[in-house]
């Protein structure tokens, strides 16, 4: 049996958490805590939770302003304690304050390490002004900074959020910067054909960039579910339906390198990604 089919015993395990956050921050934190502890008990070293894990609405409105907190606020502080308690790298979506005169919030991902430290964060760049929604009325787009990367257990991870999935340049930029795994927290709004689009785009982003891709979605009623982990050849390693739960898989550097040797698309590309 070759390396693609036989997991390496010391390969780091990754888990995606699927649940249904709403407007009670304490209840959301309690549900997330339960899932993260369960994922850690299964051996996960990296745990990815959905976009807006802190506070979620089916359609954004002014309630989200009162919920927003700074990155050193109580919700992220609680996540840092949880990461330290469970010994994982925890990625989750939060509602972050901006400047007092801005009138909007940031849709932000945070990465807390097993040392309890905030390793990096990413503010969503592509806002969901589609399918009848206008996220930009409430959310300020994140700045075009250096690619959001962090390293854990010898692998390099990059971050994107939900609607970013429809823009391949961001994923290619991460891969070109060294990402081997891309993590995608999401609140993928349900609708006709949305699951087909979600699955197709996740597998495409993994294949074209030869990366592992781990997508943690909210489940219903405000998300479509179908959280999954995809390998660099586009094979779905683990997935969920539309109920709360945890999906996990091993991340194997040997598999990554084997795929990149047989399909060296990153080195064969003829175009570069630049930021405006």
Contact 78, 29 (CB under 8 A): yes
Catalytic residue among 34, 62, 85, 124: 124
Q: In angstroms, rounded to a whole number, what is the distance separating the alpha carbons of residues 51 and 77?
A: 17
Respond yes or no: is residue 219 known to be catalytic: no
Catalytic residue among 51, 96, 239, 252: 51
Respond yes or no: is residue 51 known to be catalytic: yes
Write down the residue that tokens 């304690």 correspond to: 81
Catalytic residue among 162, 180, 219, 252: 162
Respond yes or no: is residue 162 known to be catalytic: yes
User: Which residues are tagged catalytic?
Assistant: 51, 124, 162
């Amino acid at each position: 049996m070759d390396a693609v089919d036989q997991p390496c015993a010391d390969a780091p395990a990754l888990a995606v958490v699927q649940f249904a956050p709403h407007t009670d921050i304490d209840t959301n934190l309690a549900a997330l805590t339960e899932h993260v502890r369960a994922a850690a008990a299964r051996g996960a070293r990296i745990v990815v939770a959905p976009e807006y894990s802190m506070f979620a609405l089916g359609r954004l409105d002014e309630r989200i302003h009162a919920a927003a907190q700074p990155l050193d606020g109580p919700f992220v502080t609680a996540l840092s304690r949880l990461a330290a308690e469970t010994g994982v790298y925890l990625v989750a979506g939060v509602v972050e304050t901006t400047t007092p005169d801005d009138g909007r919030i940031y849709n932000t991902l945070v990465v807390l390490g097993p040392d309890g430290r905030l390793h990096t964060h990413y503010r969503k760049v592509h806002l969901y002004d589609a399918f009848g929604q206008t996220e930009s009325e409430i959310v300020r787009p994140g700045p075009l900074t250096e690619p959001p990367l962090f390293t854990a257990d010898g692998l390099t991870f990059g971050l994107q959020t939900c609607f970013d999935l429809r823009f391949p340049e961001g994923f290619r930029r991460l891969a070109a910067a060294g990402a081997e795994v891309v993590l995608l927290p999401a609140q993928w709004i349900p609708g006709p054909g949305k699951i087909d689009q979600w699955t197709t785009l996740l597998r495409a982003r993994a294949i074209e960039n030869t990366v592992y891709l781990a997508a943690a979605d909210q489940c219903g009623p405000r998300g479509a579910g179908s959280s999954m982990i995809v390998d660099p050849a586009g094979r779905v390693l683990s997935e969920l339906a539309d109920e709360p739960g945890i999906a996990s898989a091993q991340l194997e550097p040997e598999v990554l390198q084997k795929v990149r040797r047989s399909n060296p698309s990153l080195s064969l590309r003829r175009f570069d990604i630049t930021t405006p």
